[in-house]
Amino acid sequence: MKKPFLFELCAETLEAVQIAQAHGAGRVELCARLDVGGVTPDLSLVKACVQAVDLPVHVLIRPRAGNFVYSTDEFARMEREIAEVYAAGAAGVVLGALQPDDRVDVGGTRRLIELARPMKVTFHRAFDESADLPEALEDVIATGADCLLTSGGADKVLAGAARIAQLRRQARGRIEIMAGGGLKLATLTELVELTGVNAFHGSLKRTGASNGEQKPVGAEWRHLGEDLAQAIRVLETAVVSEPIG
């Protein structure tokens, strides 16, 4: 039976992807370098994750950190990466492009989305860079994207919850609105109530002091299983909307 909600885990490692499947996530966004906002992961990791789990694996397509205004060469690179992850078995991609004035690059993004089919496509938080979010929502819908990931233009998703609710109402079911960006387990129930959406995205990483030394591989995921399971329990009791189509 399809759950009436979706929790998408943002993951950088095979271990995290396996935990996502074991503890109830609906799908995974696979990326690298979350410390800089995420970039396209190595193709070998994409292949390993797709082979290891039955969950839909959606892959971030972002050639570099920084802004979302891309050159012709960067668009060509993203086109190659889309083809590569599709061949590797990815179920979807996560992407987005802006114009120099931070409006949505409808034409450039639409071309990428057309190349990505039949995979599902999420327009990522480049959206939140736009000054006029209602206008940007209409532009994202015009690209043909299936889903929009947003924090409501705020640094943290809870601060943007009221705007996310407005975007959900404006969308009128034309695109799935997924809330994410600094999502915290402790405030997930409040986020559900304030936004009215039934799709959520987060890494669920626990923050702590750092002395600048590199952490052992997988150390940051030590509590991931229990936190993900708790997030799913919260959503099972808090979400009462219709199942996601």
The domains located in the chain, with CATH, are 6-204+215-238 (3.20.20.380)
Short-list 177, 16, 87, CA closest to 29: 16
> What does the pLDDT look like over 121-157, one tens digit per residue?
999 999 999 999 999 999 999 999 999 999 999 999 9
Per-residue pLDDT averaged across 158-178, rounded?
98
Q: What are the tokens at 2?
A: 């399809």
First-to-last CA distance in the chain?
Answer: 12
CA separation for the pair 110, 17 (Å, rounded): 29
Sequence-ordered alpha helix ranges (H) in 88-219: 106-116, 133-143, 161-171, 188-195
Query: Of 30, 23, 24, which Cα lies nearest the Cα of 58?
Result: 30
> Model pTM?
0.91
Helix (H, G, I), strand (E, B) or coil at 123: strand
pLDDT band at 221 (very low <50, low <70, confident <90, very high): low
Between β-strands 27-30 and 199-202, what pairing exists: parallel, antiparallel or unpaired? unpaired
Res 245 pLDDT > 60: no
Structure tokens at 40: 């396209």
pLDDT in tens, 7-56: 999 999 999 999 999 999 999 999 999 999 999 999 999 999 999 999 99
Q: What is the pLDDT of residue 223?
A: 87
Give the chain's length. Answer: 245
